[in-house]
Amino acid sequence: MRIEFQLPRARRMHGVVIAMMLATSALTGCATSEVIHNGYVVDEQTLALAPVGSSREQVMLSLGSPSATATFDAEVFYYISQKRTRTVAFMKPKLVDQSILAVYFNKDGEVDHLANYSIQDGRVFDMVTRTTPTGGVEMTFLMRLLKGGVNPAGAAQQMLSKNQNQ
């Protein structure tokens, strides 16, 4: 014999309402309006300390060390700042604003001109991806098995046997 209990409809609805309130309050805790500033934000007073004609040392003293320099020579200092917002605590921040102050030097090591670039002047790029794209094809585990990939233990054993024979 099987006995089933049925809760009155009002009690079931009460439980659903409480569950919805708890879920809503938990999700509300994740909402945020976090603004994240990265890099060096240049103000006009500090920028006035490094006018055109000043030396590299004066720029370093007034603006600090640059975020990046030119790749092949030290003729350009880049001061990069980014503003990101995050609407939910566990989501990836979204890039809202990016500005780059470029200080160009002439052959004598003096400031030739200054340039401010914003996000509208170019495409958005990530300064620190920690990856370097390379040419060629990256093989998956299955591709290596099918192609007869290298067995590290076998290769080491083969090298040791060659050294012993010599």
Kindly report the backbone phi and psi dihedral angles of residue 147, in degrees, each rounded to the nearest multiple of 5, phi listed first: -85, -10
User: What H or E segment, with its residue span, contains residue 49?
Assistant: none
The confidence score (pLDDT) of residue 10 equals 57
Give dist(CA 76, CA 74) in Å, integer: 6
pTM of the entire predicted model: 0.53
What count of other Cβ atoms lies within 10 Å of the Cβ of residue 100? 22
134-163 pLDDT, tens digit each? 667 777 777 777 776 666 666 667 777 776
The domain locations on the chain are 29-130
